[in-house]
Chain A
Amino acid sequence: MSSRSNILAPHGVRVPLMGNEAIARGLIEADVKVLVGYPGTPSSEVIMTIQPYSRELDIYVEWAVNERVALEIALGASITGVRSMATMKAPGLNVASDPLLSAAYCGVERGLVVLVADDPGPHTTQTEQDSRWYSKLAKLPMISPSNPQEAKDFTKIAFEISEELKLPVILRTTTRVNHTVSDVVLGEIKKTLQEPRIPRDESRFVRAGMLWNLERHKWLNSRLQLVEDIASKYSINSSIGEGQLCVITEGVAYDYVVESLEELGLLSEVKVIKLGLLYPASRKFLLENLASCKSILIVEELDPYLEEQVKIILYENGILIPVYGKVTGHIPLEGELNKYIVKRALTSLAKGIPQQVSLLEKTPVSPRDVPPRPPPLCPGCPHRFSFIALKTALSKKGYKLSEVPIFGDIGCYALAVYPPISMLWTEHSMGASISMAIGAKIAGYHKPVVAVIGDSTFYHAGIQPLLEAVNKGVDLLVVILDNDVVAMTGHQSTPAWRVSESGRVLRPISIEGIVRALNPDLVITLDPYNLDEMISAVTDAISKPGVKVIIAKHPCALLERRRRVFENKYYVEESTCKGCKACIITTGCPAIVIENNVARILIEDCNGCGLCARYCPYKAIKQLARSVNS
């Protein structure tokens, strides 16, 4: 979203950058050569920001098929002597965890930084996963910025630390850092000599030798002893103020703490300790800074991670002062923090401050009970056709919708869970639709089961489950909803594309080709816009034995709209509309609204699919003359 003039501006200029754009600029300043990842909110914009300048900056920047492949590519590049980064959202690190743990044993040559974006809230993630635990599990240094400026600066520091330690470093962010826009002062773009060269050292790179593994584990533990001293050169930990109450915090929570103290007039009475290094623990720094503290409040998002770290250090050093935080209920265990929560905790602990009954009392208007507006499938979305076809076909075959489970997967089509489509029973983890459907069948469920999975999710993690289904001869209908793009995360490329966003010529990988190679009992490719064809395909396939795969192929409506020269539009003839709501109750299309008991189509939102017209019993929905798309 940010312009070239911002991303590539010279040293010293102050520009507005989103946290992810700031990380991208940090990568440019650090002269990174390989940048790979898999789309996932809130991490995606790092790669998207650099893609247009890939050639001019001579950076390999591409989406990989999944996160583990991305991390392995970045590791391979790093041990070949070039700086690399792999980006992912929190659940992506679960996918990449296997190579991550082994990477701690072999270490790196040039810097390798793994960006993982957590999502307290959560805003767009299936769990409130706290990826800080991964640093402890994988025994890898982790650093965490508080704002876009630090996001840029810490990215560079992460590469320096990685090279000094010869270990991968995890750069951990949260949504309010990734997606906050702020003024950022740019640094120097420094070119470094990076010669591709692979050191041959079996004891380091081959994990088949158990004695080697034991030695590397000792090596890893010895490296971890050095982290705090190395990190301290870059001043990523800091503290302000003095007082008997000490607040320990990290990430965006630091800004909530400082601003809350300012507003409560307590800034001069409380000491605030901000940790940029999250693993290993900053033992020396903390002991030095906690010397004058009589009690501690830990303000952190997600799990009591720092709380455990601090308590261990206090115990080891025989310091018995009260520690407040999540365990004591001062800071909640779920959801994201804000100033209100932080102020509540501070006022309950700081002496001499009258307890505020409710900080929300200052709102002059009380919150209104407005019906929720979850994101729906877009106007013209091909998935809407697919789900309506499924619904119609199941009814035609005499099944109740309550007896045919639809196992869903991760992508826009999961929005079909909401009324009026209401056709999704599960959405679990990447690729789980097919595997969980297999489980339901082998558990003995005797009615048909359906798995729906998107094209990118199929490439990412759906191929092996389909292989499993065919191999074990499970009776299953798989519908691959192929809209030719990773839609939900902002329209990234898939392996089906001919040219990537950075201009690389790709050899397209056909979904039908992959499916046919797995040899299921039936393969049909169709366009769900041909609704009757899809209804009859599902009707025919649903109760047949074996694995049936229907590939419902139609581009994402938003992509198609951009490519089109002519636009279809529909409108409601007001005098004919009876206000029966059939159009909206059948389709749930957000381009249709009911006002004053009459349906209306918002012309700028209509994508001209015509599905609503099909379901209007009074023929009140009509097509406008085709117009040129401006």
Chain B
Amino acid sequence: MKRVVNILIASVGGQGGLTLSRIIARAAILEGYSVKTAETLGMAQRYGSVMGLIRVGSSVKSPLFDPGEADYILGLELTETLRRLHYVSSSGLVIVADEYKPSYTQSVTHPSLKTEDIILEIKSLWPRTIIVPARKLAEKAGSVRALNVVILGAFNAISNLLSTGSIKTAIREVLTEQAALTSIKAYELGYSYSQQAL
């Protein structure tokens, strides 16, 4: 592993981006890593644009990293992923849900846009992108709300950053019992999806 791994989570408030950040931080600490996250919360961030940064390594100092430094972008929504795409590093990988939740402005000014249009735009800008049918897999696991953990599974199958055991422990610590059960299923579905996709 390089000295510090930089992960960016792009999401719409309410999608569980911060919870995802917490799960990764917890699991990384269980593995003995040092962690820093930068979150923007408060002020009714629900349905607003939310960017979370996580840094994992042997010794992490700054909670922020700069554009061009993300080893991974985990996207819970396509437009938000497009908004943060300039954070990807030259060897970076984008893992994003096929979820299109346009903002009010985008709905009104670009009503004809479709999910496929944004996917095409992201892929043309950054071919090292994996699109995950996250809503479908989360529903299969039992709840659309587990979409965030589907992306975590897809990410970890590729990065092998953390052990599945640590992630499951972290999920149980961060979430309620019922949500943890659903999320562990969602994690596994995301994990096997990207294993097959590779």
Contacts and interface: CB of A to CB of B under 8 A. Distances in A.
Q: Do A and B come from one complex?
A: yes
A6 B115 CA distance: 40
A370 B75 CA distance: 15
Interface string A346-384: 000000000000011011111110111111101100000
Given A359-B66, A372-B49, A584-B108, 9 more contacts: A14-B29, A16-B25, A179-B39, A182-B35, A365-B85, A373-B106, A374-B49, A415-B44, A596-B113
Contacts of B104: 373, 376, 418-420, 584, 588, 590
A605 interface: yes
A1 B114 contact: no
26 contacts: A1-B174, A3-B173, A14-B29, A15-B29, A41-B41, A42-B42, A176-B63, A179-B38, A180-B37, A181-B36, A182-B35, A182-B60, A340-B67, A360-B68, A362-B90, A365-B88, A370-B82, A370-B106, A371-B110, A373-B103, A373-B104, A375-B45, A415-B44, A418-B104, A579-B111, A593-B107
B105 A595 contact: no
A593 B64 contact: no
B125 interface: yes
Interface string B61-77: 11111111100000000
Interface of A: 1, 3, 5-6, 14-16, 18, 41-42, 44, 123-124, 147, 175-176, 179-183, 252, 255-256, 258-259, 338-340, 359-360, 362-368, 370-376, 378-379, 412, 415, 418-420, 487-490, 558, 579, 581, 584-585, 588, 590, 592-597, 602, 604-605
Interface of B: 12-14, 18, 21-22, 25-26, 29, 33-49, 60-69, 79-80, 82-83, 85-90, 92, 100-115, 125-126, 144-145, 173-174
A255 B90 contact: no
B133 to A, nearest CB: 16
Contacts of A3: 173-174
Contacts of A147: 36, 63
A360 B103 contact: no
A584 B111 CA distance: 11
A176 B38 contact: yes
B173 A375 contact: no
A488 B107 contact: no
B68 A363 contact: yes
Given A16-B29, A412-B44, A595 B102 contact: yes
B40 A365 contact: no
Nearest to A580: B111
B126 A365 contact: yes
Nearest to A598: B111
Contacts of A338: 62, 64, 66
Max count, chain A CB within 10 A of own CB: residue among B69, B80, B111 = B111
A585 to B, nearest CB: 7
Contacts of A378: 44, 46-47
A488 B108 CA distance: 26
A364 B88 contact: yes
B138 to A, nearest CB: 10
B111 A367 contact: no
Given A256-B64, A364-B88, A488 B43 contact: yes
B39 A363 contact: no
A561 to B, nearest CB: 11
Given A376-B104, A605-B14, A370 B42 contact: no
Contacts of A379: 47
